[in-house]
Structures are given as C-alpha cells and as structure tokens.
Amino acid sequence: MSDLVRLERHGALGLIVIRNPPVNALGAEVRQGIAACLSEAEADAGIRAVLLAADGRTFPAGADISEFGDAPQEPSLPDLCDRVEACPKPVIAALHGTVLGGGLELAMAAHYRVAEETTLLGLPEVKLGILPGAGGTQRTPRLVGIKVALDMMLSGLPIKAVDAERLGLIDEISPLRTLRLDAAALAADVDAPRRTRDARSQFDDGAACMADIAKRRALPNRPLASRKIIDCVEAALLVPFEIGLDMEREAFAECLASPSSAGLRHAFFAERAATKFPELASGVPHQLDTIGVVGAGVMGSGIAMACLDAGFAVTVIEQGEAGVTDALSRIAALYEKGVAAGKMGEGALTDLNLTTQMEALSTADIIIECVSEDLETKRDIFAKLGKLAKPEAVLASNTSYLDVGALAQASNRPQDVLALRFSAPVQRMGLVEIGVPEGANPRGVTAAHNLVKTLGKTPVRSAAVPGLIGNQMLSAYRAAADRLLLRGAQPAQVDAAMRSFGMPMGPYEAQDDEGLDIGWARRKAMKNPDPEALLLPDILCENGQFGRRSGKGYYIYNDEGKRGAANPEMLTMLMGERRMRPLPKLEVTPELIQNHLLYALINAGATLLEAGTAARPGDIDVVMVHGFGYPRHRGGPMHEADARSLFEVSRSIAAFAKEDPAHWRCAPLLARLAAERMRFAQYQAAEAQK
C-alpha cells in the first residue's frame, strides 16, 4: 500500500485520503494508492460508500507535470478515473483548495461532489499546451454544458465554488472546516452511484450546442491544444463516451509531444525555480510597511502605483513643486486607468506621501531610486540615503545599465544596497530582477524578494553587474539586429520577422516607442563605446528624430502617434552607413533574421551563465518571457537552444563568425557544452549538484 494514500473506515464510510504535499499532484504512487484503496473499499462488505479527500492545502491540483514524458506507469490517470466512476458503491469527492486539471477530472469521475466554500475549480491544461486528458473533455460538458465547458478549458481559468454549484459542476458547498462531515452526510443520503458518463441532459438542445462549438472554431490562429479541445468537446456531443475518450487520449498525446507544450511546461518549472533565492534560507525577512521611491518619472510612478495597489504606504520624492505636481498627475492617471480597468482597488492613493523632502524616507523599509541614468546624480542620492535611511533599510536602484557597486560605495553601507530593476511598463510586465552584490545582507535580499512577490511579480536573481541579466540580453539581441541592418536587412523586415517569431514587437518598433534618445544618452556617457555599433540611431537623434514621440524614428508617425511606413530619411542614412562600413551582404529571409537574433540571445545567455550573472539557464528564460515578451510557448532562448541542440547552435554561430568575425564569437561555455553534446538543462542539473 502507498504511503501517500490511506483508507480509513468510519462506520459504513470508507474514507480515502491523499497526502502528497505540496499540492497532492496525482503522480504514479498516488494513483496506485487510490486504486488500491478503492479495491479494498469495494471488497469490504462493511463499507457502503466511499469518500475521496485530501490532506494539506488542496485536493489534487492536477496530474504530476514533472512525470510528463517519462515512461507511463499504471494505472494511468484516465484509467483511474474510469475505475472511480465504475465503482459499484457511491463515491463522493470532498474538495478544497485549488482543484485543477487531473484533480478536477478525478472529482468529475466521482459520483457526487462537495466543495469547501473557498475552493477554486479549473482545467488549466491549455496553459501547458495540452488538453484535459483524463476524461475532462467528455465529462465537463456532460455536467455543465458545452458553452461553460469550452469557456473553462479554452481560458484555463478557475471558477469559484459558488459558480461551480450554480453551473452543476458540484452538488453542494460546505462552510469552512466542516467539509468531511458534510460530504459524509451526503454519502449517507445517496443510495447508488450516479455516473457522469451517463448524463446527457446538457445536450438536449443539440443545435445550440453545435452553434457554441462553431463560434469557437471560427476564431482564427488557435493554438493546437485549443483546437483539440474544441474537437473533443464536439465529440462529447456527437459520439459515444468511450469513443470520445479515445479521441481525447490521441489528442492529448499529440499536444504533449508538441514543441509548444514542452516550452510551456519548461516555463512553468523555470518560473518556480527562479524565485528560489539562496538568501531565503538564511534571511529572516524584514516587516515591510513603507516603500520609498526617489524620482517619479514613468518608471518611478509605475513602481509607486504598484506598491500602493499592493497595500503599502508609499513615500515618493520629487524635485521642486513642479516635479511634485507632474508626479501627482502621472500617478493619478495610472490610478484612474487601473480602477477603470477593474485592476486596481479604490482608495489606494490615500497612502501616498509625495514630497520634496528626502528626510521623509527615514521610516521607509525599502527605498527604490528611479532617477535618470546619470551616475553622479545617483551617487549623490545614495550618499544621502546612506545617512538618512533607517538601519537595515534596503537601498535599491532601478538602474538599467549603471554599476550598482559604485552606488553601494557611495552609500557607505554597501551591505544594504541592491539593484531592483522593474521591467517597463511596470503595470504590464511581470519581471523584477534583483541584482545582488557580493556581501549583500541576506535579510535585505529576502525583503526585496518579499516585496516583489507581494506586488504579484516574478523576482529573478542576478549578479549585480551593469544591465543585470535582462538588459545584457537585450543589448546582444539589438546588436545582432543592427548587424543585420548593416548587412542588407531593413528595420521593417527585422521587425516583421520577430513579430512572426512571436515577439510582441520588433526591436526597432520597440526602440521607437521607448525613445531613441535613451540609448543615445547612454552611448554618449560610455567610456569605451563599441566601435562596431550601428551609428544610425545616433544620427537619427542628432537630426531630432527620437522615435514615436518626435514623429520620426525608424518609422514615421502621424499626429495621433500611429505608426506608418519606414522613415525614408532613416533609409537614406542607413544606406550611407552601409557604404561607409562595407560588410558581406546577406540573403535576408525571415528565418535568417530569427536565427541570428535567437542565436545572439543564446550566446549572450551562455556568457551570463559562465560569468555567474545568472545562476540557471531557466532564470534567463524567465527574464526573457516576463521582461521582454519572449513568447512563452517557446519556453525561452535557453530552452530553445536545448530543443535545437547546442551543437547545431554553436555550428551556426561558427558559420556566422566566419563571415563576420568582428561581431560573432561563440561563447566558450556554449562551445564546450556543444562539444560534450550536453544541453543547458543537464548543465543546470550538474551545477545544482556542486
């Protein structure tokens, strides 16, 4: 008998309890345990009904995702669900927590369902690039109808217990703490099994059901898993249950084998691994009440608003009365937008203290500096913060490219200084990189981590080097794109290729949107600018063309700021630069553009790993997905490198380097792993053992 599942006898009730923390995932041992307990309960003449429940925080939250791709072990989850449904004694599922995926499928195979009032129920498989594969596509529509079943499966979003009861997914709601008693009472009331497979009443209006299906099918560009969900739900309506199950199994196998499911599953685990900072084990967290923000430009305002919305008191410092007035209108605009979109609670602004007095920061637990990228100004601020902030307050900089070490020194309390880099726009992007200098106080790192988690964002740890992980990756990506311009590509071609790769925007559209003057200022401040860098963006800026804001950049923009055609003046400047700096021309295709930019990201990622800037390849993927809109279904550049094979990637980079040695050089770690036929995932596992 499994240690993870036990059978208790309570009079005529057989109680099967799953205990597989943290989320009671339905791995092989759990499935075997449930099957064994079920057999025992069936064979026991003293047991009249069976209650299926779980200890800990939730009824199973799904199949064990980490088992996908392993050799299958009996009983499979679909077979177990069939076993439960076939049980000759009534089976009642007692649900609490997050009843998701295979967990909900198991519950739907039971004959009756009771859920604690706070329970969430859902079928999130589509978010992993798969479909419910344990009878969910067949049983859900039988319980709640075609429309609701499609809503649940295509969105992947959970529903509340109260809605689940209204829709017929569960039979009863139970108040907190009486779940098993209520489920036992229901068990005492029911005489016989009631099998979901036999339910057909939801299909009475066949024409309406078909119309719901047709409506969903009409939407173009659905990913594979969504298309298969629609097909299988249609099968639930049109063919016998067993045939529907067969179709579902075939579709599940096809989706599971798809690259997009591999990418989405990689993202799921990489996101969770990335948030595990070594400091969490040793750092007793600070209590966080007040957050300070220095500088309320676009980033500072966004950060302040996010902190207010999460319930913190926020002190914002701006310069002069005009600065305070501007900051207030920026923050108020963000607030109104958030409230109108239903994303922000009312009243958050009451906890805002907007002032010109730096001393107001003396009670802040974390202070985030967000002024413009000027080292001297930032140094000045950190010197002041070092004196006025309370002991152990975290002094953080949101710098894009400057050296946090210099700011740490200026503060005279380097152990309290970190980089805390929010991705822009703060309201939409989920990434916050925490740049941790050597010798940083683990309590401070833990506090920053807590803040980011409380804001509902994903923290990723980086060494405190200029640009952290994200902006170093971005620099490599943009430099590779610029190289293509010199070798014959047009900005619009590059942008179109990267959009079809799945990026929300191409690199030149993005630079026009953020303002070309930002990079211009940075390059002007550089001591050793890259002699190979494209001059075009600087020339555009020298001519007053800063992108969308000025009406011209890589593209031209109308008075409403709508992007139009490529800027003809920019094209002339580009041709001039090409003549000045002749490089071997390329036969530009979308695939070539995508490969150059992807391989530049992989190469940069390998360099960051070797330097210890990123601890894990998965962290780099999380940064790219959450900070830069890298398509989640691709998993991230390091995952894609593994999928293509590092040998193939390094061979291509070697070929690029042959034609353009001034730009391309294979990262030593990438070359070594490729020679050893290793994958980044194996490298990560080997590093974890050290």
| Distance of alpha carbon 523 from alpha carbon 536, whole angstroms | 13
Rg (CA), the chain: 28
User: 121 or 464, CB closer to ligand 3HC?
Assistant: 121
**Residue 76 CB, nearest distance to ligand 3HC (Å)?**
9
Q: What is the DSSP pairing of strand 313-317 with strand 290-294?
A: parallel
Alpha carbons 603 and 608: distance in angstroms, whole number:
9
CB of 630 to ligand 3HC, least distance (A): 21
3-state secondary structure of 398: coil
Q: How far is the CB of 305 from ligand 3HC (least distance, A)?
A: 24
Q: Closer to ligand 3HC at the Cβ: 62 or 414?
A: 62
Size, binding site for ligand 3HC by CB under 6 A:
23
Residues 160-197 as b or e (16 or more Cβ within 10 Å = b): ebeebbebbbbbbbbeeeebbebbbebbeebeebebbb
The span from the CA of 193 to the CA of 197, in Å, is 11
Binding mask 268-307 for ligand 3HC (x = CB under 6 A): ----x-----------------------------------
Q: Which of 85, 125, 369, 433 binds ligand 3HC (CB under 6 A)?
A: 125
Looking only at residues 60 through 99 of this chain, which bind ligand 3HC when binding is defined by CB under 6 A?
61-66, 77, 98
* Smaller CB separation from ligand 3HC, 77 or 486: 77
Dihedral angle computed from the Cα positions of residues 265, 266, 267 and 271, in that order, rounded to the nearest 10 degrees: 110
- Whether 146 and 138 have beta carbons less than 8 Å apart is answered as no
Q: Residue 94 or 464: which CB sits closer to ligand 3HC?
A: 94
- The SS3 of residue 293 is strand
- Structure tokens that stand for 69 in this block: 């791709």
Q: Please identify which residue in 14, 33, 124, 459 interacts with ligand 3HC, judged by CB under 6 A.
A: 124
3-state secondary structure of 507: helix
Residues serving a catalytic function are 105, 125
Sign of CA dihedral 162, 163, 167, 168: negative
Stretch that binds ligand 3HC, among 122-130, 342-350, 436-444, 492-500 (CB under 6 A): 122-130
Q: Which is nearer to ligand 3HC, 150 or 407 (CB)?
A: 150
Please pick, from the candidates 14, 33, 129, 136, the single residue that binds ligand 3HC as defined by CB under 6 A: 136
Q: What is the DSSP letter of 585?
A: -
Q: How far is the CB of 590 from ligand 3HC (least distance, A)?
A: 33
Question: Judged by CB under 6 A, does residue 100 bind ligand 3HC?
Answer: yes
Helix, strand, or coil (residue 90): coil
Task: Quote the least distance from Cβ 63 to ligand 3HC, whole Å.
Answer: 4
Nearer to ligand 3HC, 102 or 295 (CB): 102
Sign of the torsion angle spanned by Cα atoms 38, 44, 45, 48: negative
Token pair recorded at residue 80 = 């177990």
**Cβ atoms within 10 Å of 533's Cβ, excluding its own:** 17
* Of residues 52 and 187, the one with the C-beta less far from ligand 3HC: 52
Q: By three-state DSSP, how is residue 529 classified?
A: coil
Instruction: Compute the residue count for the chain.
Output: 690
Inter-residue contact 116 to 164 (CB < 8 Å) = no
Helix orientation angle between 568-580 and 468-486, rounded to the nearest 10 degrees: 80
Under the binding rule (CB under 6 A), the answer on residue 101 touching ligand 3HC is yes
Check: CB of residue 543 under 8 Å from CB of residue 509: no
25 near ligand 3HC, rule: CB under 6 A: yes
One residue of 102, 263, 507, 637 binding ligand 3HC per CB under 6 A: 102
Closest distance of CB 53 from ligand 3HC, Å: 17
Among 80, 81, 93, 134, binds ligand 3HC (CB under 6 A): 134
| Spatial distance between the Cα atoms of 489 and 583, rounded to a whole number of angstroms | 12
Cis peptide before 442 (omega within 30 of 0): no
Q: Is 129 in the site for ligand 3HC (CB under 6 A)?
A: no
Question: Would you say 54 or 134 has its CB closer to ligand 3HC?
Answer: 134
We find the least distance from the C-beta atom of residue 6 to ligand 3HC, in angstroms, to be 21
Q: How far is the CB of 139 from ligand 3HC (least distance, A)?
A: 11
Query: Could you give the count of Cα atoms lying within 13 Å of 542 in the half-sphere of its Cβ?
Result: 9
Site string for ligand 3HC, 27-66 (x = CB under 6 A): ----------------------------------xxxxxx
Nearer to ligand 3HC, 142 or 487 (CB): 142
Q: Quick check: 572 binds ligand 3HC (CB under 6 A)?
A: no
The full DSSP string for 472-488 is HHHHHHHHHHHHHHHTT
The region of 21-29, 299-307, 446-454, 472-480 touching ligand 3HC under the rule CB under 6 A is: 21-29
Q: Which residues bind ligand 3HC (CB under 6 A)?
A: 22-23, 25, 61-66, 77, 98, 100-102, 105, 124-125, 128, 132-134, 136, 272
